[in-house]
Amino acid sequence: MTEPTSVNVTETTKTLSVGETYQIKASVSPAEASQEVTYTSGNTTVASVSSAGLVTAKAAGTTAITVASKVKTSVKKTVTITVPAPAAEPDPTGGE
C-alpha cells in the first residue's frame, strides 16, 4: 500500500460567523494512498468538526482544525478557523 506523503486542503484559513458551517475539502497525496482522514478541532468551544469535515462555528475566537491521514497520523494539515465577535446589536433578552 502506498504511504501518504501529504494532506491537502482547499483553504488553510477560513472566517465563519457564529452558526455558519464550512465543509473542509481534503485529499491525500499521492492519489494511490488511502484518502481517509480524521478531523480534530483544537477548541470545540469555538468550532466543532464532524467526522466528515463539516465545521460548525459556535463562538467568537480562533481554533485550528487538524486534518490528518488515518493511516499515517503524522501526515497532516491545519485549517485555521476564525470566528469574529458578533457586531454589537441590541440584546433582545435585555442583557445578561
Rounded mean pLDDT of the chain?
A: 93
Check pLDDT > 90 for residue 21. yes
Please tell me the distance from the alpha carbon of residue 22 to that of residue 34, in angstroms, as a whole number.
23
**Fold type of domain 6-83:** Immunoglobulin-like (2.60.40)
Nearest to 79 by CA among 26, 31, 34, 36: 26
Structure confidence by residue, pLDDT tens digits, 70-94: 999 999 999 999 999 977 666 566 5
Q: Which three cell numbers stand for residue 41?
A: 478541532
> What predicted TM-score, i.e. pTM, was given to this entire model?
0.87
Residue 48 backbone dihedrals phi, psi, to 5 degrees:
-105, 165
Q: Which three cell numbers stand for residue 87?
A: 457586531
Domain spans of the chain, in order of start: 6-83
